[in-house]
Each structure stands twice: as structure tokens, then as C-alpha cells.
Chains A and B, each alone.
Chain A
Amino acid sequence: MATHERKTIDLEQGWEFMQKGITKLKNILEGKPEPQFSSEDYMMLYTTIYNMCTQKPPHDYSQQLYEKYRESFEEYITSMVLPSLREKHDEFMLRELVKRWSNHKVMVRWLSRFFHYLDRYFISRRSLPPLREVGLSCFRDLVYQEIKGKVKSAVISLIDREREGEQIDRALLKNVLDIFVEIGLGTMECYENDFEDFLLKDTADYYSIKAQSWILEDSCPDYMLKAEECLKREKERVSHYLHSSSEQKLLEKVQHELLTQYASQLLEKEHSGCHALLRDDKVEDLSRMYRLFSRITRGLEPVSQIFKQHVTNEGTALVKQAEDAASNKKPEKKDMVGLQEQIFVRKIIELHDKYVAYVTECFQGHTLFHKALKEAFEVFCNKGVSGSSSAELLATFCDNILKKGGSEKLSDEAIEDTLEKVVRLLAYISDKDLFAEFYRKKLARRLLFDKSANDEHERSILTKLKQQCGGQFTSKMEGMVTDLTVARDHQTKFEEFISSHPELNPGIDLAVTVLTTGFWPSYKSFDINLPSEMVKCVEVFKEFYQTRTKHRKLTLIYSLGTCNISAKFEAKTIELIVTTYQAALLLLFNGADRLSYSEIVTQLNLSDDDVVRLLHSLSCAKYDILNKEPNNRSIAPNDVFEYNSKFTNKMRRIKIPLPPVDEKKKVVEDVDKDRRYAIDASIVRIMKSRKVLGHQQLVMECVEQLGRMFKPDFKAIKKRIEDLITRDYLERDKDNPNVYRYLA
């Protein structure tokens, strides 16, 4: 057997041979002239170790060789490495360290190859640290532990120098910091504890001092520029030579020192803070502000608060402006929603456009800013101007756009666009029901008096409203628009009916618009005494309508009618366009030349208010179709009227306007009444499902249910609850008056 023939090598002899190899390696590392290891050299060295480890005990020297292996490193480090490092300082020391470390790694690689056989059996059997680790830990224990403090200081001072603008050897730093990582042998402990912690602290100190002076010297935009630049630099620093795990921590430190610490001071800088930036429309700076403050926790909240405050102020100023304009207006025009209010709505729309752009662009559509914008608009959009609620203003604004000859002259696209924006504003208005009611009134006027400019726009805004407020909101309005189409069809049928029954022809052209009562605003219908000519018309139409449907009730609203009548004056015949009421009144004069006020009242069977209005329009306003005694500008119960046959006008056809009755109060009352029903219904709905519920909770749920249409007043809800108690829908709990029970 070969092994038996092999001569036993004793430790001394064997180690002497190894020592030679190790010295050769050291010489190579020290850069002394020495030939490279040849494969034979390597094989001899390896074989020696192999042989020494495979001899029978007591000649198995594995244990001793394992120790010698470590000692070789220790010896080299103490005799060569440490002295050369100790005599160098700062950057030179760092360079030396990098060199020594890479040499050391080479040495570990070679030696561990020579001793490789140890790794395979001795070490793995006894679970000792493997050779590579022993080699590296020697460096860690002897070199790293001694100089890590110095190294760290040197590195940090270099970094600080770079922060101040000096050029430094980044590759060197990269190498040094790699040592911190590698020396951890797979953990980051050394890097973190021996370097990173100190760097972070130093960074904090550095920027804390910087920030202290910047915040005093610089304006807010300048400060932000610097802060952004610093953050950018630090980020680059990480990518150049720090470990990537430091990025987050480092940036957080910098953000903390530069932003968190001075956030409020920065935002509130008097002439350049957030307020000023908003005031001066510094879009770019605001975007930067967003970028910076979005980095720190709760950083955006104060910004959004300031934004909200700013928008609120701007809006409130617009309200105030409109208010002043309205109070300077002539008193007789006060009740009309006029040009000023149109301008006001325009301005609000512009304001909205502007700040929506801010939210989406500067503030990247962050929810906090959407919320701030919404809250701000809710504040002033619900204020109203000089007695007109914002709901009314918006409805009027739409009317002006949609009606023929409104004050706004816009292209189709512009109309669509404006309508879109109005509908978006509506979202901020809490009294949506009030808007709906006003809108319906105006829509009715547009449709019935053929004032609507464009059917498509009418339908398009309804679609928009439907999207925003739900189908229930627009169902009546849609019904109105549809009604009108149906009504036209009806009219054609009626005309056919007349031509096929010539004996029924009343001798007057009659057009009737048949509508569905439920869709339209309610109108007073009086039993006015119509002139016999008109009575006949109505009868014919009723007869026609009977042929179409049996189960419907037809109510004629004369107050909405118009008549074209030919009036024979001495000079010429003039066609007068008047309302049905006016016509009925004028036709009375076919039978009498003079009529007293009281005769007119009895013959027409109308209220005094209406008659006064009619007479005023015919005798005291622009055209004096009737002469009045006494001849003054107001109607009194003792007046007497006479047909003015001398009247003439250069036109062949004139329209005699009848000023509309102010309906605002009625609309508000109607809405109020509807709200009572809505609250009742909501309370009953809630109680029906919950059976027993505390007061506050009931109020809350009720507000929530109704909030989409209007903001119910707490007091109103309370009143409704009490009313329901009186009507035995609810009762108070016997023991707790704060709790209600539903009575089925």
C-alpha cells in the first residue's frame, strides 16, 4: 500500500516547507521581486498539507496546522500591515487600507488553497470556522477593530468636503466603504454600526447648521431650491459610493433637518411663503413645494390647509365684490338676477378652472388637495349674493346660456364646456333641490315660450346633471323636454282634426301644449271668465282631446297662454301680441267703450293683484292701449278705463309685455315644503329598518341620506321628529327620552 510506504513527515519539517511557500507569497504581496507560483509549487504545498493531515495519529497534525494557518496571518498583519497603516493618515491611510485589504484577500485566497485539505475533512468534521473566514476575521480582529474609528472619521470628513463643493476621490471612498460591507462577512452590522450611524449623525448636524442659516437668509423658493438640490446630491452620493441601503435613511435625515424642522416656518414666510406663492401664482415653486413636502410625514396637510384658506379667501372676495356691485345697483332692479350675478358666476367658474389646474398639475391630483378645493368652494358657493342663493344664481346662469338672445354669445363648444363647468360647481352647492326647482321654472319658461335656443344643449345639460346627481334629480326635467315633443305631435293631430271637421272650426287659430302635470312646476289656474270666442276654442279642443284619450283630466293654465289679436285703431290696424289674460281684458272692450275697475274685476273673475298688473301693462306702461281716468301711473280701484282708439305705432305688430310675478319666494317655499316630506320619509325609512334608535344617530343618518340633495337643518329634522311623534309614527323610549321607537 502506498500510504505505508510513505515516509512520515514530522511537524517541524513539514512546517518549514510551508513557511517557505508562505514567505514567497508575502514577498509577492509586498511587491518584492519573486517569481510567480508555478503549478508544481502549488501542488507541493497542497500535498504537504495533505500528507501531514492524513498521517496516523499521533502524526496527524491537522489541529496544529489549523492553528499555524491562523498564526501566519496574525504574524503578517502585526509585522507588516499594522505598522504601515499606523504611520499613514487621512486619505493616505485610506489608500493604504484599500491596498492592504485587497492584498489580504489575495493572501486568504492562496493560503486557503494551500491548506484546502483542512477545509474538506478536519474543519467540516469539527464544525470549525472555515479557512476563508479565519483568514478574513484575522484582518477584522486585528486591523479593522483598531482603525475603524480613524477610517470612519476620514471618510466622513471627505464627504463633508465634497458637500462643500470639493472634488474628492469617489472611487477610493467606494472601495473603503466596500471594506465595511465585506468585513461583515454577509451581515451589514459593521457597515451600519461602525460607519452609517456616524454618517447619519454627521449629516444631521451638517444640515441642521445649514438650515438654521438658510431659513433666516433665504426666501421660501430659494430655500426649497437648495433643499431639493441637497436631496438630489445626497441621492447621487448614495449611488456613487454609499451602500444602497443607506439611501432611505440618509434622505430621511436630510428631509428631517431641512423640511420637517422648518416646515411651518417655511410655509409661513411672510413675503415668500405658501400664501405668497399662491397669491403670485408661482406654479413652479408650488410644484416644488408639493414634491418636497410630500416626502415628509404629514407634510402636505399644512400646505393643503393654506391652499384651502387661499381659495376660500379668493372666493369670498368674489362674493363680496358681487355683493357690493349688487348694493350699488338701482333699487328697482334689485330683485332681478342681472348682469352682475352673471359675471359673478363666470368668475367663480374661472376660479374653479384655475385651482383645479393647480390641484392636478402642481399637486399631482393628491386627494388632500381635492378635498381642500372642495371644502373651500363649499364655503363660498353656499353664500349667495344679495338675497339670491347660489342655487338660483347657477340656474339663472344656465338659463342665460340656454335661452335665445341670452347675454352670453358663445359657440356650441363653448356652451357645452360652460355647462359642464356649471354642473361641476353644482357639486359644491348643498341646496341641490333648490337649484332643481329654479332650473325647472326656467326650463319651463324656455320650453313653453319657445325661448330655448337649442334642443341638443338642453338634453346635454340634463345628461350631465343626471350623471352628477342621479336619475331622480332630472327625471322631471327630462319629462318636460319629452312632453314638448309629444305636444307638437298633438298639435298636428289637432290641426288635422279641425280640417276634417270644418263645422267645429272656432274661427281662431288655436295651439295647445298638452303637458304632464307631474313634471312641471305648479301653476295657479284661475277660473277666469274667458271671452266667448275663446270658450268655444277650448270646447273644441276638449272635444278633440276626448277622442284621443278618455282617462285624463285636462286643466288649462291660461296664465301661460299668449294671444295674437288684431286691434283696429283709427290710424291703422296693429297686431298685438299679448297674454291670454291681457287678451281677455282687451276683448271686454269689444262690448263696451268704458269700463270701471270693479266692472273689469267682476267680468274677468280674477284677483285684484292680477287685474292691477294687467291694467298697468295696458294703460301705464310702454303702450297705452287703454286710456285711464285719472291719467296717472298707478291703478286704483276707482279708476275708469277706455279703449284708446287714437293709439298708433310705427310697427305693424307689437308685443305688450306683462312683467312676470316674482316667483322666488314661492320656489323657496315649495322647496321647503318638499324638504319636509323628504325629511319625514327619510326618518320613517330609517326607523322602519332600525326600530329603535338614539336621537343623534337618527339625525346623522338622516343628514347622510338627504345630503345628496340638500343639507337639512338640525332644527328642521327635530321638528319633523316631533311631528312624527305627534302623528304616532314614533315614540320616545319610556326610560330614555333620547331614544326613539318606531311604531308600526
Chain B
Amino acid sequence: MHKLGRGSRDKVQQFMAITGASEKAALQALKASDWHLEGAFDVFYSQPQIAVANTRHLEELYNRYKEPDADMIMVEGISQLCNDLQVDPQDIVMLVISWHMKASTMCEFTRQEFIGGLQSIGVDSIEKLREKLPSLRAELKDDQKFREIYNFAFAWAREKGQKSLALETAIGMWRLLIAERNWSLIDHWCQFLQVRHNKAISRDTWTQLLEFVKTIDPQLTNYDEEGAWPYLIDEFVDYLKEKGLVQHRR
């Protein structure tokens, strides 16, 4: 740091404050973009692997949690990890972490997912990860990221080899995710699914529900029954009307 001029030093610090990257990563990104901050952000975010945390540390961490007889972190390892992070395994932040790891299945991390994920978060120890938790949690507030995490959750939570998501899991995931959105109809939705549907949830329904939650107000005044809402959502609207939970229009 001392070799740098004042202006450059400020930029490095600014960069670190915004991205939360290490000094080394900041220097790399800034050098790569000829000391333009904006350019450096682009570089940094497009190649998260720049934020190379110490791979050796990550290997050690991985080995701490991995199954003794398989090259993979399974339920045991994950609950250990949660313990170390002092979070509940049901905490939504674990979903955010899994999203960063691009985990393909719930309760499982492969070596690649685990190490790649922590690298992209930019940490190489449990302590650092724990410190990161608030900012990871904050990512849920970002609309775009929330949508990605939400859509990620579908594939992540479904059973291997299945096209759709088991109803119970879906309801669990919705309760977890939609809680972030304060959707007043969530209880009715879950109840409706159990009473009327009682089948697995397709990806389309899953994706469209978020749209529904985001765009349609709870009184359904802007709901268009001619629209392309999935069948299940139409049925839900009928259910709400039938139960007198919302006013009929016209």
C-alpha cells in the first residue's frame, strides 16, 4: 500500500469498502482496469475468482466438513458448518450461501461448489464468513439478486431427477423466501395448495408466483383473469374469491 500514491490508495480503500474484497483483490482489479474505479467494479464482479482467497485455507476448511468416506459435504458437515457460523440450518442465509456456491442440491456441497462458492464470496475462513453474514443477508433486499436466489431455490430444493418440486418442500421454501416479501396472502396460498392442489409444483408456477407476489396487490385489483398466469394461480384467485377473502371485481 505504501508504494502507491495518495489517489490510488484512496481508490483501493474505496474499492474495498464497496466490494468487501481483500486488498490484494482490489489492487488486482484496479490495476487491470487502469485505476478506473468503475472499470474495476466491472472486472471484479465479472470475474469473482479474482478475489482469490487462500486456496490452501479453503481446502482445509473443506476437509474439516467433508464426509469421512466421500468427497462431499453432506448433512453432518452442514450442521457442523452452521454450528460454527452460529446460524440455524433453517436460516435463509444458508440459502444465500448455497446460491453463491451454485449448489445443485439441498444439503450437499461438492468440493468444487464449496471452494468456488467461498472464493466468490471472498472469504477463506469461518470467521470471515461469519463476518460476511450480514452483507449476505442484505443481498436478499436486492431485487435482482432476490429473484435469482428465488429461482435458484427451485432447482436446489427439488429431489434429484424430478422435474417439479414436492409440495411440502415448496411450501417450506415459500414460507422462508416469501417472508422476505411480506406477502399477506402467503398463509392462504399454502392452505390452498394443501386443500385443493396437493401435487408437486412446476418450475413455471414457482417462477410466476414471485411475479404474482411482486405485481399483484393483495386485493387483486390489478389481476387480469385473461392473463397468462399459471393455472394454479388462477385457481388460487378463484379460491380467494370463493372464500370471500377478496372482493369480486365489478
Chain A residues close to B by CB (< 8 Å): 694-696, 715, 718-719, 721-722, 725-726, 732, 737-740
A696 surroundings in chain B (CB, below 8 A): 226, 228
B28 surroundings in chain A (CB, below 8 A): none
Q: Pick the contact of B231 from A694, A715, A732, A740 — CB < 8 Å?
A: A715
Q: Is the CB of B208 within 8 A of A737?
A: yes
B227 close to chain A: CB less than 8 A: yes
Q: Is the CB of A718 within 8 A of B205?
A: no
B69 close to chain A: CB less than 8 A: no
Q: Is the CB of A726 within 8 A of B208?
A: no
**A722 CB to nearest B CB, Å:** 5
A721 surroundings in chain B (CB, below 8 A): 228
B98 close to chain A: CB less than 8 A: no
Give how many B residues have a beta carbon under 8 Å from the other chain's beta carbons.
15
Given contacts A715-B234, A721-B228, A732-B208, list 4 more A-B pairs with CB under 8 A: A718-B231, A725-B202, A726-B163, A738-B228
**B236 CB to nearest A CB, Å:** 13
A732 surroundings in chain B (CB, below 8 A): 204, 207-208, 228
Q: How far is the CA of A146 from the CA of B203 in the complex (A)?
A: 92
Known: A722-B204, A726-B163, A726-B164. A738 touches B231 (CB 8 A): no
Contact sample, A vs B, 10 pairs, CB 8 Å cutoff? A696-B228, A719-B231, A722-B202, A722-B204, A725-B204, A732-B208, A737-B211, A737-B228, A739-B228, A740-B228
Known: A737-B208, A737-B211. A726 touches B202 (CB 8 A): yes
A698's closest neighbor in chain B, by CB? B228
**B43 CB to nearest A CB, Å:** 26
Q: How far is the CA of A738 from the CA of B227 in the complex (A)?
A: 7
B89 close to chain A: CB less than 8 A: no
A733's closest neighbor in chain B, by CB? B228
Q: How far is the CA of A553 from the CA of B68 in the complex (A)?
A: 58
Q: Is the CB of A722 within 8 A of B205?
A: yes
B230 close to chain A: CB less than 8 A: yes
B231 surroundings in chain A (CB, below 8 A): 715, 718-719, 722
B202 surroundings in chain A (CB, below 8 A): 722, 725-726
Chain B residues close to A by CB (< 8 Å): 163-164, 202-205, 207-208, 211, 226-228, 230-231, 234
**A724 CB to nearest B CB, Å:** 10
A720's closest neighbor in chain B, by CB? B231
A718 surroundings in chain B (CB, below 8 A): 228, 230-231, 234
Q: How far is the CA of A737 from the CA of B230 in the complex (A)?
A: 10
B164 surroundings in chain A (CB, below 8 A): 726
**A416 CB to nearest B CB, Å:** 46
A722 surroundings in chain B (CB, below 8 A): 202, 204-205, 230-231
Interface centre among A694, A715, A737 (most CB of B within 10 A): A737
B208 surroundings in chain A (CB, below 8 A): 732, 737
Q: How far is the CA of A344 from the CA of B162 in the complex (A)?
A: 52
B212's closest neighbor in chain A, by CB? A737
B225's closest neighbor in chain A, by CB? A714
Q: How far is the CA of A719 from the CA of B202 in the complex (A)?
A: 11
Q: How far is the CA of A722 from the CA of B231 in the complex (A)?
A: 8
**A579 CB to nearest B CB, Å:** 41
B203 surroundings in chain A (CB, below 8 A): 725-726
Q: How far is the CA of A725 from the CA of B208 in the complex (A)?
A: 12
A719 surroundings in chain B (CB, below 8 A): 231
B163 surroundings in chain A (CB, below 8 A): 726
A724's closest neighbor in chain B, by CB? B204
Q: How far is the CA of A719 from the CA of B231 in the complex (A)?
A: 6
**B156 CB to nearest A CB, Å:** 18
**B194 CB to nearest A CB, Å:** 20
B227's closest neighbor in chain A, by CB? A738
Interface centre among B203, B208, B211, B231 (most CB of A within 10 A): B231
A725 surroundings in chain B (CB, below 8 A): 202-204
The 8 closest A-B pairs by CB, nearest first: A695-B228, A738-B228, A725-B204, A718-B231, A719-B231, A726-B202, A722-B204, A737-B211
